[in-house]
Amino acid sequence: MLTRIDHIGIACFDLDKTVEFYRATYGFEVFHTEINEEQGVREAMLKINGTSDGGASYLQLLEPTREDSTVAKWLAKNGEGVHHIAFGTEDVLGDSEAIRGKGVRVLYDQPRTGSMGSQITFLHPKDCGGVLTELVTSHPEH
C-alpha cells in the first residue's frame, strides 16, 4: 500500500547552487548526500518532515554525473524543474507488481538501490499522465 509522499525529485545543473537556494529561501538543510552511479546522479536529500512510523518526506535534488544519464537527457530537453514524484510503501515489489497488473509499465523487474539504502522502482511517465513516478521502500533506519 502506498502510504505517503516519500520525495519529490528535482533536476538541476548545479547541485551546490540549488542546495543553497533551498537553504537560503526556505531554511531546508541537507540531511544526506550521495552519488548513485547506477542512476547517474549526485543527489542531496533535504528532509521536510519526519513521522513516527519512520516515513519521512524529502526533496531529492539531482545533478547528473554523466552525459548519458537519464537526468542529463531530461535536463537537456526540459531545463531545470520537477523530474519525478515518489510514493512510499513497505512493499515496493508487491505494489509495483500489482500496478503492473493494471497495465502500467514498471521499468525494473527487480527493485534497485535508491537514496539512503532504499529499494526503488519507476513507473513509465507515458502510462501515468506524464508524471515519472517512483515507488520507494525506505531502509529501516530512515
Cell numbers 540549488 correspond to 18
User: Minimum distance between the CB of residue 93 and ligand CMX, rounded to whole angstroms?
Assistant: 16
Residue 127 cell numbers, joined? 502510462
Residue 65 cell numbers, joined? 554525473
Residue among 105, 97, 109 nearest 133 (CA): 105
Residue 8 as a binder of ligand CMX (CB under 6 A): the answer is no
Residue 111 as a binder of ligand CMX (CB under 6 A): the answer is no
Contacted entry of ligand CMX, Co ion, none for residue 119, CB cut-off 5 to 8 Å set by kind: none
Contact map string, positions 48 to 87, toward ligand CMX, x by CB under 6 A: ------------x-x-------xx-xx--x-----xx---
Contacted entry of ligand CMX, Co ion, none for residue 101, CB cut-off 5 to 8 Å set by kind: none
Asked if 131 and 83 count as a contact pair (C-beta separation under 8 A), the reply is no
d(CA 113, CA 61): 17
Residue 111 as a binder of Co ion (CB under 5 A): the answer is no
Cell numbers 535536463 correspond to 75
Give the pairing of strands 2-11 and 81-89: antiparallel
Segment contacting ligand CMX (CB under 6 A): 14-22, 26-34, 87-95, 107-115?
107-115
Q: Which residues bind Co ion (CB under 5 A)?
A: 9, 60, 86, 134
